[in-house]
Amino acid sequence: MLSGGPCARATTRLSLLDNLCLAVIGIAAGSELHLSELRKNPKPVLVMTASITVFTWVFIFAVFSAVGSQVEFLKDLTQAHVFAIASLAATLGVARSPASAIAVLRETEGRGQFCTLVMSVTVVKDVLVVVMFAMNLELVALSGLDFVGKGGAEIGGDGAADQPVAGAGGGGMATLLALLEPIFSVVMTFAVGIGAGVLVGQLLKPASRPVLGRILRPTWILMLAATLFVGSGLVGLEPLLLCVVAGAVAANRQHANGETEREVLHTVVSAVMPGINLVFFTLAGASLHLSSVFNSASFAALIVGTRLAALYIAAWVGCHLAGCPAEHKQVAWMGYVTQAGVALGLARTAVTRFPAWGEDFSAIMVAVIVMNQVLGPPLFRAAIIAVGESSSAGRGVKEGGQGALGGGGGGKEEGV
């Protein structure tokens, strides 16, 4: 048997690698938010994003709350505990995968109004879900739920969650401050993320020696991303959200070389993401308890079915309110199914924040994410062909249609 020392050192190294992967995933996701594209016609994107977010969250929360007490690690706990976990699961259900969408667009050579809308909503929704999940984690930590079963054995929670809600006996002001803490944390995370994005932008400036710059730039950005992720966690900020904000700011700086810097950022991200994906998904797989995944498969399938129903209704309503073409209403939901890196990254942050029950929660959500990842790309491909925006399928590109996020996503982020 390995001694405690080597095991502890190995765990620390793996944790550092995991943090690096999450940091780069966050920056890559943020870099896909192109504000210039969003400003051209914001109504359809905002309406569809709001519709999908609300319907997906409400449907999954309702179903999880109704049957969540049957989940193994929640059986001995109260309905309040089920509500807390249901809110996290519902928030993760909103997440989508930009990389999977980009891969399908490349394969089908998809261009047009439908493809552009799907990609824009996908990116905006991923940024939104990181904010929502950060707030959600803070609220669960402040809920005062100790996650102790009827037999007295501790099932979950961290130091913050094990304490009663601040202000239980200390007056209304203490309670108000406790409720404002998640908002303050997110606001500060945004502020620091904006500064970090400017710093990332500085690293993207043209180098005096281009060849040396191509070698050193990814290294500096990786080091900065890891430092931001670890440092923000130490001071109580939300690491993944901070990296997403930094990536978005770096990709949207308005100055003479802004477009060039965005392309450099995408080039750097595309270069490092294959290695990041390999390490991240290997670590994610190594941390899974297969028995937990197997035991939660039927429940995960129920969540997946609920999410699909919510997406169908939400996309139909969103298309109606946004004035999308009639042929889009029946297939629009098929463009928002896939999940991958961001959703997995958020599930991993729950494990870090609440180690005692986070693994069980993560096992359920990984099963959900995998099912959505299997179903999503074929559905999106079929939707693109159905609306006639697939050049590779022999369909003409609609006149006046724009490429998804400026040309079908070529050269953009991978694996997020």
Residue 20 lies in a domain: no
CA 283 to chain centre: 18
Say which CATH number the domain at 113 has: 1.20.1530.20
Mean pLDDT of 202-212: 67
| Residue 48 confidence (pLDDT) | 93
Give the lowest-confidence range in 150-164, 255-269, 289-303, 324-338: 150-164
Residue 358 gets the label, from left (phi > 0), alpha (psi -120 to 50) or beta, of alpha
pTM, two decimals, is: 0.70
- Identity (one letter) of the amino acid at 283? L
Burial of residue 14, with CB atoms counted within 10 A of its CB: 0-12 exposed, 13-18 middle, 19 or more buried: middle
DSSP state of 237: -
Q: Which two tokens stand for residue 282?
A: 């290997």
Of 273, 266, 305, 283, whose CA–CA distance to 406 is shortest? 266
Mean pLDDT of 215-229: 82
Helices (H), 235-296: 239-251, 258-287, 290-295
| Residue 268 confidence (pLDDT) | 83
Query: With 50 as the cut, is the pLDDT of residue 277 above it?
Result: yes
- State which residues form the domain around 47: 43-145+154-202+283-386
Of 345, 347, 288, whose CA–CA distance to 89 is shortest? 347
Burial of residue 365, with CB atoms counted within 10 A of its CB: 0-12 exposed, 13-18 middle, 19 or more buried: buried
| Residue 288 confidence (pLDDT) | 60
346 vs 83, more confident:
83
DSSP string over 157-176: --TTTTSPPTTTTT-HHHHH
* pLDDT band, very low/low/confident/very high, at 113 (cuts 50, 70, 90): confident
| Residue 209 confidence (pLDDT) | 63
| Residue 403 confidence (pLDDT) | 43
| Residue 95 confidence (pLDDT) | 85
Residue 358 lies in a domain: yes
Q: How many domains, in total, are found in the chain?
A: 1
User: Among all chains, which residue has been given the structure tokens 């191509």?
Assistant: 214
Give the lowest-confidence range in 26-35, 171-180, 320-329, 334-343: 171-180
Residue 60 lies in a domain: yes
Residue 191 lies in a domain: yes
| Residue 333 confidence (pLDDT) | 93
For the stretch 295-348, pLDDT in tens is 678 898 999 999 999 999 999 999 999 888 888 888 999 999 988 767 877 887
Of 127, 197, 100, 114, whose CA–CA distance to 409 is shortest? 100
Residue 29 lies in a domain: no
